[in-house]
Amino acid sequence: MNHPQETDQHLIERTVEVKPIYHGRIIDLEELTVELPNGRRAGREVIRHPGAVAVLAELADGRVLGVRQFRTAPGEVLLEIPAGKLEPGEDPLACAQRELAEETGGEAAQVRHVGSFYTSPGFADERLHLFYASSVTLGRAHPDDDEFVETVCLNQDEVREALSSGDVRDAKTWIAFEWWLLLKAGAWA
């Protein structure tokens, strides 16, 4: 459902003015004036992002890959699945394979799209494409020059423990791990 359904028309806001605030390397920030469904006007601050991919990578032995890395915004080391920003015009599948190789040295026998979702639609248009890579073999990671990551492998019990203990504080990783546990339980096709 990429387009509003006819029955949703009474909910649609119409953008009447766009004021660029900031243009950066990764994001742009805009201040919008919108006309609400009731005819009144309101302001919106929107972060524009090119989109990203994330890869739930499963090794042949049934463990999944994670990466631990320091994230400046929250100021802490997080456990995440391999992920990265889409380059302009880049195919999400190609990006997923690139990020898996860069961050873990991993190469997958098979990669499939699980789904796509907005990371924080209240203020950002970033859309994340989640992929499932199976029968992954590990090689030598080659992260970007400004990227310092540590690869970890987790079995199902370790994934459950990481989720229940609060060690997973990254939304894409939480979604991917929960999906994977459902898949392993036979509750997801």
The total of other beta-carbon atoms located within 10 Å of residue 111's CB is: 17
| Assigned domain for 131 exists | yes
Q: Is the pLDDT of residue 163 over 80?
A: yes
| Assigned domain for 153 exists | yes
From 17, 45, 87, 147, the catalytic residue? 147
| Assigned domain for 32 exists | yes
Grade residue 1 by pLDDT with cuts at 50, 70 and 90. Answer: low
Provide CB contacts within 8 A for 160, sequence distance 6+.
Answer: 181
Same domain, 62 and 17: no
Q: Is the pLDDT of residue 23 over 60?
A: yes
pLDDT above 70 as % of the chain:
97
Contact assessment for residue 21 and residue 27, using Cβ atoms and an 8 Å cutoff: no
Report pLDDT for 64: 98
Same domain, 133 and 95: yes
| Assigned domain for 178 exists | yes
Q: Is the pLDDT of residue 102 over 80?
A: yes
The total of other beta-carbon atoms located within 10 Å of residue 51's CB is: 18
| Assigned domain for 189 exists | no
Q: What average pLDDT does range 19-43 have in this prediction? A: 97
d(CA 80, CA 65): 9
pTM for this predicted structure: 0.92
Give catalytic status of residue 76 as yes or no.
Answer: no
For 159, the domain range is: 52-184
Grade residue 30 by pLDDT with cuts at 50, 70 and 90. Answer: very high
Same domain, 61 and 28: no
| Assigned domain for 104 exists | yes
Instruction: Select from 94, 85, 67, 97 the least CA-distant residue to 170.
Output: 67
Same domain, 34 and 56: no
Report pLDDT for 2: 58
Same domain, 17 and 82: no
Same domain, 159 and 137: yes
Same domain, 143 and 96: yes
